[in-house]
Structure 1
Amino acid sequence: MKMKVADFHCDALSKMRIHPEMDFTADDRLDVSAKRMVQGNVKLQCFAIFLSKQLGTPNMGHILDQIDVYNARVVPNGIYPIRYAEELEQWEQEGKQGGLLALEGADGLEGNLHYLQVCFELGVRLLGITWNHANWAADGILEQRNGGFTLKGVQLVELSHQLEMILDVSHLSQKGFWELVELSEAARRPFIASHSNAYAVCDHVRNLHDEQIQAIIRMNGRIGVTFVPWFVQKGGTPSSRHLLPHIEHICALGGEHHIMFGSDFDGIEEHLSDLDHCGRYLDWAEMLLKHYPERLVRGWLYDNAVRFLRTWLPKTSKRFN
């Protein structure tokens, strides 16, 4: 039986927004397409709304554009949109391919908390607070001053918790990370790092330090080990086997049940030599099975991510149908 896969980060929507001629069905320019999801048995894909500089100054209109791309060009090609825990259960029972919407960076919300509510109503369920740089809510990881949250940013976190929006710390500054730990522990809601690796293995600024990994484990969050080559290894031509030290390091810190994958497909122009699109996931699964027990591999590929969603997606909605 082929192992099921859940991937917590791709940028196909942004690429399709910039290139309107791209067809999600089977366009080989897309790392994540309907065809390749079937090939790799990717049952659940998180589609990020990333506001590229090519689109101009981030605004709510650009967010709505990518939600339209998802609804008009992705969902009709066999992707079951998941917004609530009930839909997650229905999707699993039906065995379909599912999609989740994430917003990568709060920049496009323009400091308007009502816009977050609008995004939630339109199906967005994950929020990465920053991209690499500062925005109105917090500093990103490349902001040299390493600031934390603004007062409006704290309000954004509080509203996210009320809405049951899942927060994502990939790209967030170190100070912001630790402020969010306090806010999230007070709210008793864990967060995720959707696409980050272990800094102790590859000292890229976007990777997580041991203390951060342990904090995510302590709150029962999730870490999406990512396939970005320069987050995996410095220099050379890394392959999927170079991901193993990251997995082993997180496991050594107690995180074997907290690992998932967040490929960053379609957000990168360079790839791991043998893991260049989501159709390769089953080859990756076979390689993992050569090194680890099946129960762990199933957890990393699918079970850990879906178990987290089952717990933390909103349970009910008056508008659920």
Structure 2
Amino acid sequence: MFPIVDTHCDALCKLATGTAQSFVNDPTLETNLERLQRGRVRCQLFALYVPPSVKQENMFAMVRKQIAAFHQAVLTCPNMVHIRSLSEIATLKDGQIGAGLTLEGMDAIGRDRAQLSWLYEQGILAIGLTWNDANMCADGIGEKRGAGLTSYGESVIDENNTRGVVNDVSHLSVRAFWDVMAQSKKTMASHSNAYTVCPHRRNLRDDQLDALIKTDSFIGLVFYPPFVTNKDEACLDDLLPHIDHIGSRGGIKHIGFGSDFDGIDTYVTGLSHAGCYDTLINHLLKFYREEEVRGFCSRNFMEKVVRH
């Protein structure tokens, strides 16, 4: 079977808060070492996500705690390799699993440039300016105002561009999405589906998909049923219309996977954790050419993000 790149999971939040105790085989983690190995995951991106229930003054401490969990629980496992720059993914040897950090929302960093510089030093690979809410950088998709980037948000995009950090648009308001697209040098939607197929606010409208495709960007399909079917239930077949729709717009070589494991509480049937990727891939091979499925698994990410 083919090696997988998964561009989004929330396992670090569980490890940092004590919800999960061990990265090796804790069953409360949908993304753990045993499941990554079983699913043939070659590289997993771990989001730094601080829930909005955490007080602002405690948010940066939570980020530091998650990074500590990344080093102490994840990277101490056999064959887990810290990916500090995107190019390192291509150097992974057989049996190794790359682990990289991303940031989901600038809320914890705020306007503190020293904290932002420290974060870059940790080897952050991608930054999404917001979760669903508004912050000092931009409005998220859940903010009714629907504003775009602030001047500070623009400065963060500039810094990302300079450092080669990917700009993640998955949670942004529609206007903020377009602001980022106008400025970004390297872009991805780490975990989003097609709005035309499933009209959920978190999914991408056709003009957004077209813009990502036109700029040679990456789209990671997310496995959360409300984003797949707008219901709490979904099956593997329900993922196919999203692939077909994006493919019909010229994006078949832009599609990959951004599971959102450990950040969701309901699952696509047969796809409840990282160890289930073989089930998904075997299903996709019934409908798509092997070359296309290889692309979904990792090749498209390598072409559109790593080598772009």
What TM-score range do you get, normalising by the shorter chain? over 0.9
The 8 Å contact of residues 51 and 108 in structure 1, kept in 2 or not, is answered as yes
The 8 Å contact of residues 18 and 55 in structure 1, kept in 2 or not, is answered as no
Distance, in Å, in 1 between the alignment partners of 2:137 and 2:101 is 20
- 1:319 maps to none
> Residue 76 of structure 1: SS of its match in structure 2?
coil
1:17 aligns with 2:16: yes
Alpha-carbon distance change, 144 to 97 in structure 1, aligned in 2, over 3 angstroms: same
Distance, in Å, in 2 between the alignment partners of 1:279 and 1:26 is 11
Report the TM-score, using the length of structure 1 for normalisation: 0.92
1:267 aligns with 2:263: yes
Distance, in Å, in 2 between the alignment partners of 1:228 and 1:56 is 27
Deviation sequence 1:36-55 (CA, Å, 0-9, x none)? 00111111101001102454
Task: State the 1:21 CA deviation.
Answer: 5.2
Task: State the 1:86 CA deviation.
Answer: 4.9
Distance, in Å, in 1 between the alignment partners of 2:153 and 2:124 is 18
Distance, in Å, in 2 between the alignment partners of 1:262 and 1:149 is 24
- 1:235 maps to 231
1:190 aligns with 2:166: no
- 1:128 maps to 128
The amino acid of 1:283's aligned partner reads T
- 2:202 maps to 206
> Residue 103 of structure 1: SS of its match in structure 2?
strand
The 8 Å contact of residues 41 and 97 in structure 2, kept in 1 or not, is answered as yes
- 1:73 maps to 73
Report the TM-score, using the length of structure 2 for normalisation: 0.96
The 8 Å contact of residues 190 and 216 in structure 1, kept in 2 or not, is answered as no
- 1:141 maps to 141
Distance, in Å, in 2 between the alignment partners of 1:61 and 1:103 is 14
Matches for 1:288-299 after TM superposition, within 5 Å:
288-299=284-295
Task: State the 1:241 CA deviation.
Answer: 1.2
Task: State the 1:20 CA deviation.
Answer: 6.0
> Residue 114 of structure 1: SS of its match in structure 2?
helix
The amino acid of 2:221's aligned partner reads V
Q: Give the total of aligned pairs.
A: 306
The amino acid of 1:17's aligned partner reads A
300, 305, 310: which is aligned to 2:306?
Answer: 310
- 2:31 maps to 32
State the 4+ residue runs in structure 1 displaced beyond 6 angstroms.
Answer: none
The amino acid of 2:4's aligned partner reads V
Distance, in Å, in 2 between the alignment partners of 1:64 and 1:248 is 40
Deviation sequence 1:138-157 (CA, Å, 0-9, x none)? 00001101001111111111
> Residue 8 of structure 1: SS of its match in structure 2?
strand
The 8 Å contact of residues 226 and 233 in structure 2, kept in 1 or not, is answered as no
Q: What is the root-mean-square deviation in Å for CA atoms of aligned residues?
A: 1.4
Task: State the 1:307 CA deviation.
Answer: 2.6
Alpha-carbon distance change, 180 to 309 in structure 1, aligned in 2, over 3 angstroms: closer
The 8 Å contact of residues 113 and 156 in structure 1, kept in 2 or not, is answered as no
> Residue 192 of structure 1: SS of its match in structure 2?
strand
Unmatched 5+ stretches in structure 1: 313-321
1:277 aligns with 2:273: yes
- 1:318 maps to none
> Residue 257 of structure 1: SS of its match in structure 2?
helix
The amino acid of 1:114's aligned partner reads A
The 8 Å contact of residues 5 and 297 in structure 2, kept in 1 or not, is answered as yes
Alpha-carbon distance change, 276 to 164 in structure 1, aligned in 2, over 3 angstroms: same
- 1:251 maps to 247
Distance, in Å, in 2 between the alignment partners of 1:36 and 1:73 is 15
Deviation sequence 1:51-74 (CA, Å, 0-9, x none)? 024543353222111111101100
Alpha-carbon distance change, 86 to 193 in structure 1, aligned in 2, over 3 angstroms: closer
> Residue 98 of structure 1: SS of its match in structure 2?
strand
Task: State the 1:84 CA deviation.
Answer: 2.2
The amino acid of 2:74's aligned partner reads V
